[in-house]
Amino acid sequence: MAYSPGRLVLIRHGESECNLRGVVGGQRGCTGLSARGAAQAKALRSRLERTGELHDAAVLYTSVLARAVETAEILSDAIGGLTAVQDCGLCELHPGDADGLSWEEATRRYGSIDFRSAPTQPIAPSGESWVGFVERATANLTRIMEAHAGELVVIVCHAGVAAASLARFLGIPGPSAGLGLRCENTSLTCWERDCDRAWRLVSYNDAAHLAEL
């Protein structure tokens, strides 16, 4: 059967409470969106309702972290009323034993890691390295696109997932940890995947709706 091209839209979650409080936000540390984060998600929902740009989405996915789940719930009505499928493979880098600690305490216990110079070093015991995270995140993005060939897939996820997609799908050599690019809360990163399964970046960090705030 011939492969059909598809589109992938990655939406970063709204501002989170753990970010405001300086807490490592894995599954233990993430307590959902801040008030500003909810307002950001509602601003994006208003944009999507006005433009209809994601009205033809076939499926909506989210990571299992509360900040992404809450963002997806706010956006659902503007994305065809779809119920988000939760998938841990779409989470931010797994922080392991640092989860739920303040970043200050995590750094005291486990040190500060520069993923550019140490891309294979885990952030903490039982946590992921940058290399491992990129492999996990992009493998799951590819798996989902294979399952929805020819369709528009929308995923509410994290800045790290967007950065990982740039590193892997654009074939950038080296660790490419973040690439020094901003990824605003509730911004959209859009990809196309053609019939040869090649990725083409359409847009990155599209956060025009935040001007409304």
| CATH number of the domain within which 186 lies | 3.40.50.1240
In a domain, 25, yes or no: yes
Catalytic residue among 70, 92, 128, 158: 92
Among this protein's residues, is 148 annotated catalytic? no
In a domain, 135, yes or no: yes
Q: Which of 186, 191, 212, 188 is nearest to 202 (CA)?
A: 191
In a domain, 199, yes or no: yes
CA distance 40 to 70: 12
In a domain, 1, yes or no: no
Burial class (CB in 10 A: 0-12, 13-18, 19+), 83: exposed
Per-residue pLDDT of 22-54, as tens digits, reads: 999 999 999 999 999 999 999 999 999 999 999
Q: Domain count of the chain? A: 1
Per-residue pLDDT of 155-172, as tens digits, reads: 999 999 999 999 999 988
Q: Domain range spanning residue 56?
A: 6-212
In a domain, 157, yes or no: yes
Catalytic residue among 13, 148, 158, 209: 13
Among this protein's residues, is 209 annotated catalytic? no
